Amino acid sequence: MTIPSALIERLATAKSVSVLTGAGVSAESGVPTFRDSQTGFWSKFRPEDLATARGFKRDPKMVWEWYDWRRKMVLDAEPNAGHRALAEMESIFPEFHLITQNIDSLHQRAGSKKVIELHGNISKTKCFEENTPIERWAETGDVPPKCPRCGGMLRPDVVWFEEPMPMNEFRQAVGATECDVFLVVGTSSLVYPAAELPLEAARNGAMVVEINTTMTELTEQVQFHVDGASGVVLPALIQAVRSAREQILK
Ligand code: OAD
């Protein structure tokens, strides 16, 4: 792993930094990514069966149970050094935005206070019929459980394929592309409109940097690609930026 000195210098004086994360940042916490051909979620399941409203209508029990299994897995996982480094960045830069496609709350559990969740959160539930958040329901043995308001089915409050992103979060994410440095960490950059955000940041004049263990669809379009695991690269990056700042202040 080599961190470009131009990136460290830019971050040392940056006023505004934004970060977009994907499943890769939680990989070192033991949560499988989606597209890894060996361990990824989609290697065992078909996305259209499990992460679409169509799939849910076809087999609501299977979909609810799959999310129940994933919910337990993320609850058992612990945030890693990459999540902690991103939480630390909140206090380093005058303006900082953390945008995530992850639904696992590991950023929040690592201490990030403000997280823009583009794809919802697996610990939240909503009514499939009315689309309203539901916090409590009677445990009647129904799978999925029934909405206490309308009797319809409950579903996880996550964004499925073919569904729009939450408007407010997407607006905030687009606003966050107005920044000095935009880091894209642990995402394959295949799912739109999230994948559009780094391109928008570049159009706005930001230095766009990818941190990933592999090359992606985005790699050709970024200023720097830092090859490495986020749990290693991000703490090293923070350390380098802190030392560069101390040098500037001397
Ligand atoms: P993917 O599984 O598509 O991509 C994970 C990325 O993380 C890959 O590019 C890996 O190379 C990289 N990676 C793996 N381990 C890493 C590590 N330790 N450090 C850094 N990078 C690492 O996951 P996402 O891009 O998050 O949507 O997927 C985006 C969306 O597609 C998800 O939110 C989900 C999925 O289908 C829905 O479910 C709607």
Q: State which ligand 1 atom lies nearest to the alpha carbon of 40.
A: 2
Strand partners, 211: 185, 226
Pocket of ligand 1 (CB under 6 A): 22-24, 27-28, 33-35, 40, 47, 51, 101, 119, 159-161, 186-188, 190-191, 212-214, 216, 229-230
Is the domain of 14 the same as that of 89?
Answer: yes
Instruction: Output the CA 54–ligand 1 centroid distance in Å.
Output: 23
Maximum separation of any 2 CA atoms in the chain, in Å: 66
Is the domain of 114 the same as that of 130?
Answer: no
Q: What is the CATH number of the domain that holds 153?
A: 3.30.1600.10
* Annotated catalytic residue 119: yes
0.75 exceeded by pTM: yes
| Structural domain span for residue 142 | 32-76+125-158
Q: State which ligand 1 atom lies nearest to the alpha carbon of 33.
A: 2
Q: What is the CATH number of the domain that holds 8?
A: 3.40.50.1220
What's the number of domains the chain is made of?
Answer: 2
Is the domain of 181 the same as that of 239?
Answer: yes
Is the domain of 111 the same as that of 229?
Answer: yes
Report the pLDDT value the prediction gives residue 42, as an integer from 0 to 100: 86
Residue 128 neighbours by CB under 8 Å, 6+ apart: 53, 56, 60, 144, 147, 152, 153, 154, 155
Q: Which of 56, 117, 188 to mutate to test the pocket of ligand 1 (most atoms within 8 A of CB)?
A: 188
Beta strands 181-185 and 154-158: pairing type? Answer: unpaired
Q: Which of 119, 187, 216, 226 to mutate to test the pocket of ligand 1 (most atoms within 8 A of CB)?
A: 187
Is the domain of 49 the same as that of 71?
Answer: yes
Closest C-alpha residue for ligand 1 atom 19: 229
Range of lowest pLDDT (27-41, 48-62, 141-155):
27-41
Question: For 145-192, how does the pLDDT look when each residue is reduced to its tens digit (9 = 90+)?
Answer: 999 999 999 999 999 999 999 999 999 999 999 999 999 999 999 999
Beta strand extents in the chain (DSSP E only): 16-21, 95-100, 115-117, 120-127, 154-158, 181-185, 207-212, 224-227
Is the domain of 133 the same as that of 206?
Answer: no
